[in-house]
Amino acid sequence: MRKSLSLLIIVFSLGACADGQDDKSQRQSDLQAMEAEMQKKEQLDTALASSMIAAYEAYLSTYPKDSLAPFYQKKIAEMYRAYPGKERAAIENYEELIEKYTYHDQGAKALLSLALFYEELQQKDLAIATYQRFLDRFPSHPLATQAEQLKQLLADDSVSDIQMVEEWMRKAKDSTQNSDK
């Protein structure tokens, strides 16, 4: 009797795990389908974007430790970034990504994305502070040199936006050529 009960519990547990894996796979497939649909659009479909955000958030609440979680958190932030009037939500989601996944590469990249977003919003002081925050947290990151250059260009009031981009592109090209040698 005990063996039968133990066997029944094991079989039930395995079935529950399989159902959970099926649900996870189905959610991933649904998200991929929505992403493919969004890519077909020439501009942001706000109804589809709202559905995608809800699906990403549901996935994250169900599978917070999944390997895709940092990527989905980033997609939420980027979706809000493209969504008119949702700047605060974009910033909050970048910050959540940075805090939850600090030591994941997406966490570091989110910090740079946030700095660039502050630039887009013409919040120069916040952009500079965010570049510095990146440099403080990730001084040896492969993108640290670019972050430092962007911070310096932004801090230089005598340079126009166009000159800033041209200078940054020149420095990026120079650093690429130097690393190839």
Instruction: Give the predicted TM-score (pTM) of the model.
Output: 0.74
What CATH number is given for 32-138 in this structure?
Answer: 1.25.40.10
Q: How far apart are CA 138 and CA 15, in angstroms?
A: 43
Residue 130: count of CB within 10 angstroms of its CB: 24
Q: How far apart are CA 49 and CA 88, in angstroms?
A: 16
Q: What is the pLDDT of residue 181?
A: 60
> pLDDT category, 159, cuts 50, 70, 90?
low
Q: How many residues does the chain have?
A: 181
Six token digits for residue 166: 């041209």
Q: How far apart are CA 41 and CA 86, in angstroms?
A: 20
Q: What is the pLDDT of residue 172?
A: 75
Q: What is the pLDDT of residue 145?
A: 95
DSSP structure string for 132-173? HHHHHH-TTSTTHHHHHHHHHHHH-TTS-HHHHHHHHHHHHH
Q: What is the pLDDT of residue 156?
A: 85
> pLDDT category, 173, cuts 50, 70, 90?
confident
Q: pLDDT (tens digit, 9 = 90+) per residue, 82-92? A: 988 999 999 99
Q: pLDDT (tens digit, 9 = 90+) per residue, 132-154? A: 999 999 999 999 999 999 999 99
Q: What is the pLDDT of residue 121?
A: 96
Q: pLDDT (tens digit, 9 = 90+) per residue, 23-60? A: 999 999 999 999 999 999 998 899 999 999 999 999 99
